[in-house]
Chains A and B, each alone.
Chain A
């Protein structure tokens, strides 16, 4: 939005330069933090329970639920307060930083927060910019400065920024206004213009682009000092705008927890309802409502019956509210937080090349790593190394392949092509033109080697160097190259027509010493061929296609002479477009397209992008784990296809189904019709004719290839005039194929695909992995986004949930960590619900025997401590250290991953099992002791036990049983497990003695005084505790053992098969499976 010049300087319109990342101040911390915490539904629920306890006369004191809630709230508040204090400190450091402002020709030291828009600042080397600045003056001669944006996007290479032309000489006498767009978060976009007023002349106009803008947070490098004018300050800087957190992703486990919570809430409410009803039914019997020994108070008699019912209902809710424990949330959070450390600590994820390990950006999704069904991977930099190597080139249809050992004079040698001798090849002139094109047409910087945003360019420049043309660097718009005869050639760089993924090409316009104006263009074949003279195309096309089939990345190089008039026209067109404030991109594009026509094709290059280490093994392991791998790439089909073959995503026997622009071209048919036919045909093949999934007969393997153009046709097709919805058909085909390759994808299309799969039937869990800025959209879209710490900057890493250095680490991340995390947290959740069900059920049953009077079975201390102290640590330790199958085994046998697929451990089946187990245990605890108490004289001195002894016996059995149940489930006993499991039990015994051994002055009633010790003095109590614990665990032991005939056997078999080098069976619909199965049946029989 261009604002009128006279408005620009009204100061109040701009915010000051204070950065406020903190959420709270000292004053609003308490209310605001509490408000935010109680916005969480669970905390709110516990608050309600607490308030009910305070207001209504309830069986348990408010302390029992108040204390845990207070604990949780306090811990969270302290954590958040500390984090906010850190933010305050960081903010202050930034805001109070002393900066130098030029005012009226003097240098004034100011605090950073006092900077106003329009201030001219001086920044020294290695300082960070205090706000977004337009570069006016640089201490370097050429009006450039170097910055690194490591703290913004993680790219540590030096970027060149330019001063606004005509301003660099004398800032003090500069009189100018700046118009710029509204602040927006895109780091790489900026549009503005500057009016420069010189004594009464017509104001001159300069366009401002991202190359003039120095971003807050970036650091000045290799430049002594610069002057700049502040354009965006404070919260309007691009850094601050980018600060906003990402949207929260929620894992399936969390959804399951919520569903289970609902069930337990229903159980809770129905329990309270049943008890309330029974209470009033029971009271209606004669003599029961108010026996003579238990008269009501006056107040109780006077209260309205319905109000009484309601308070009774609330009391029961309070009594049973422990069934939904506040501590579960704490434990789950802690498990996730602490558990995620194991990923960042894993030394297998450490890459010595970049000297970094894995990075965990969120710990909420640990368990989701064990649930992945679809992996969407980028190709370049992810499947491949993005480490480009110049392989060969072709000039005018002659192939030049570089060989180190070749003795040929000019370093060229010929492996094919029409003629074999140097002289009869393309000719020296053409060769040199081609190599000059490679040397000039790029944006590489020279600084201790070559630095560029794209590794392809470096490979090309290095390739040219090997053939004798060395790029020496760019100095004040002059490019220098060292040619084969060791002469320095100088070219004036007039314009760079930047690369963008839509045009898929870039150009430079240079002027040679001799005054010739040349345009060099390089780009993808599809974008170059239509723009060159057609007679040149055929010979080169052959080479390009062959190179692409070999898996090389190809680029075509073309040039064009520009006459002076042509150049002037282009020049003015470009300047005009660059000055435009609106639609600048479109206008520039139009000029680019206009100039890049009618070129002469010189040749093509082939660059190899080597596969990542263990890319094929990783892909195979993922497929073995039942994960479908889709490759989404912007690269061309042939290259991508060959990569897929190399990664073994496609195999020799895979039947490829192609749905690309090429297959749609058929004579005499509209493309839409052809698309329709093909879709139906493929659908028939893969979906309708496929054998039912149950039969183990291996069916044909299908691979599906689709390109961006066709995809948009499919996605945009209006379904009204078609019988079938294309999108549906397409999805079904894709889902029935082993692997899918989508090439020529725009970044947004990648996200579209992910979204489409994500929202398809059964809502499968998706994972996107990529390394570049073009993968960010799909990384954000997928359930789990993985960034590779690759060479294309750090944007993907910043937006990812987890970042790993290499693709090969994905295998351990999913099959190892993901599997374990899922099993751990699933067990944690089920166990938590179970242990609270069998905790509260006896209390519920007791209501039937105490006239539904809300008499608690357990003492308040036990009610409070059960979840906090007695049973919380073992499950936390379990959920951090359990390895039901060792990591090696998980990695060797990818099929194990399928066992936990589709949220297997948190479906309604297992939930029902755990719930029934909890009910069974609760019944055993309560009625076992009930039978014992048919004669309460349980001591050998004839004395009788009372109600608190009853509760304590039940509670002791309960604590021991749930802890031992966990011990039974633990397959991996580290010393920590031993410590916490036996320690918890010991603590329980110790605490009970202690709690019952002292008359506590702060307690109103000394209910438990010596109850525990007296209990232990009774042999019967011991015996009933032992027998009930065993009875409770018996079904569990039986279940474990009777399952075992398959258990260890299967395990042995897996060891055998992996030891014998047989890969684990892949999918039930793959030919490999048949082989593996028959192999196995051979070994068995």
Chain B
């Protein structure tokens, strides 16, 4: 009896799993699959690459350096002065229409927004509108958490403190007539940043929430007065603030400043003519050899102008085709005779 029991207990299960005989698909990358596959992929990639390249080429982009290192530069005087709100202007001419929608970026070089300590120097709870963090900002904001009189700074931290504060206006001169190009500052930040991630405290007027706090040291105006024209664009949900708070990945970056309001004369973009950008020059970059730029660009379905993608697709697509030819030769030489 005992023996019989042990027999059934000891005998291994005869299942496909235990016997390592599960049905299996055993793909073999044979020439018959790979060569046509490579040709197809290669052709598809070349197709996409051409489309990307053409699209990228069709994107118009105007980039101007206004840092003012050289004396010819219109802003050279502002660059050397330490006066706040120094004005300078930059002229350019469009010979053809800059197809809309046109985006207005500012760019910074050699500026390390991705510095670790810099990046950590903010208080998300504060920025989420939590009043308890207004009076005691997170220690990660240090040394921008309290001012010299030990008053809490709101918004605290390096990022907020170093917010880009050059401002620009654009005028179009055509037939001797100067028109102000209206710039739209809405929707330049991520929708989720504006609606969810950043919130003003639920206090009206907003100013009261900031009682007992001070504005960041480098700011001219407190957070609740960032945009005098639009009360809803103040506090932590100010679009320029939000754009600045989304840290750039690399030390040379551009951030969206405004969109050209597509209305009236600018329905199709910026028409040909002479333009002037009036710059309020505040932001010092010369100390670290930084460069400031303004960029006008339109975008396509793939975003801004970027030739890398198109070239990458073209190169890899042709690589695939070339390789399939090489493989064909290799196979023709070594493989096919044996298969007879």
Contact = CB atoms under 8 A, between A and B. Distances in A.
Contacts of B79: none
Interface residues of B, number: 99
Interface in B115-156: 115-122, 124-125, 128, 138, 140, 142-144
Contacts of B41: 1030
Contact of A938 (B120, B243, B304): B304
Interface in B179-233: 187-190, 192, 196-197
A936 B249 contact: yes
A850 B335 contact: no
Contact of B256 (A291, A295, A933, A942): A942
A293 B22 contact: no
A971 B112 contact: no
Interface in A961-1005: 971-977, 999, 1003-1005
B20 interface: yes
Interface stretch (B87-95, B170-178, B274-282, B326-334): B326-334
A293 B161 contact: yes
B116 A1044 contact: no
Nearest to B246: A946
B115 A855 contact: yes
A937 B190 contact: no
A294 interface: yes
A295 B12 CA distance: 70
B262 interface: no
B29 A973 contact: no
A881 B143 contact: no
B249 A933 contact: yes
B334 A937 contact: no
Given A932-B309, A999-B197, A294 B117 contact: yes
A969 to B, nearest CB: 11
A947 B287 contact: no
A356 B9 CA distance: 9
Interface stretch (B66-74, B265-273, B294-302): B294-302
A1027 B312 contact: yes
A1078 interface: no
B185 to A, nearest CB: 12
A573 interface: no
A849 B297 contact: no
A345 B19 contact: yes
A27 interface: no
Nearest to A942: B103
B289 interface: yes
A567 interface: no
A854 interface: yes
Contacts of A1045: 330-331, 334-335
A881 B192 CA distance: 44
Contacts of B304: 935, 937-938, 942
A936 B101 contact: no
Nearest to A846: B114
B263 interface: no
Given A298-B143, A935-B304, A946 B249 contact: yes
Contacts of A932: 306, 308-309
B4 to A, nearest CB: 10
A1027 B256 contact: no
A939 B112 CA distance: 23
A302 interface: no
Contacts of B162: 292-294
Given A344-B12, A1041-B31, A949 B249 contact: yes
Contacts of A1004: 124-125, 138, 140
B300 A940 contact: yes
B250 interface: yes
A1044 B29 contact: yes
Given A936-B253, A1009-B196, A1040-B29, A287 B300 contact: no
B3 A1024 contact: no
Most-contacted residue by chain B among A59, A295, A949 (CB, 10 A): A295
Given A855-B116, A974-B24, A944 B253 contact: yes
A259 interface: no
B319 A1041 contact: no
Nearest to B3: A355
B23 A974 contact: yes
A342 interface: yes
A1011 to B, nearest CB: 9
A1023 interface: yes
A1009 B115 contact: no
B216 to A, nearest CB: 11
A931 interface: yes
Contact of B20 (A294, A887, A1009, A1049): A887
A10 B28 CA distance: 78
Contacts of A262: none
A1048 B18 CA distance: 28
B24 A883 contact: yes
Nearest to A1028: B312
B238 interface: no
Contact of B22 (A287, A350, A881): A881
B116 A1027 contact: no
Interface in A1013-1040: 1014, 1018-1020, 1023-1024, 1027, 1030-1031, 1034, 1037-1038, 1040
B323 interface: yes
Contacts of A160: none
B115 A853 contact: yes
Most-contacted residue by chain B among A854, A938, A943 (CB, 10 A): A943
B327 A1042 contact: yes
Contacts of B22: 881, 974-976
B24 A1049 contact: no
Contacts of B306: 932, 934-935, 938, 1020
A291 B304 CA distance: 30
A512 B288 CA distance: 116
A1023 B115 CA distance: 28
A947 B309 contact: no
A950 interface: yes
B190 A950 contact: no
Contacts of B247: 946-948
A221 B162 CA distance: 90
Contacts of B19: 345-347
A967 to B, nearest CB: 9
Contacts of B26: 971-973
B292 interface: no
Shortest 5 CB-CB contacts between residues of A and residues of B: A293-B162, A937-B304, A287-B288, A950-B249, A345-B18
Given A935-B303, A939-B299, A999-B196, 19 more contacts: A291-B112, A293-B158, A295-B143, A350-B11, A357-B12, A853-B117, A854-B116, A928-B312, A932-B309, A935-B254, A935-B306, A937-B299, A940-B300, A942-B259, A943-B189, A944-B254, A1019-B303, A1023-B48, A1049-B338
19 contacts: A291-B288, A293-B118, A346-B19, A347-B13, A355-B6, A357-B11, A887-B20, A935-B254, A937-B297, A940-B300, A944-B248, A947-B249, A975-B22, A975-B23, A1006-B124, A1014-B192, A1018-B303, A1023-B309, A1048-B30
Interface of A: 59, 286-288, 291-298, 341-342, 344-347, 349-350, 355-357, 849-851, 853-856, 881, 883, 887, 928, 930-951, 971-977, 999, 1003-1006, 1009-1010, 1014, 1018-1020, 1023-1024, 1027, 1030-1031, 1034, 1037-1038, 1040-1042, 1044-1045, 1047-1049, 1084
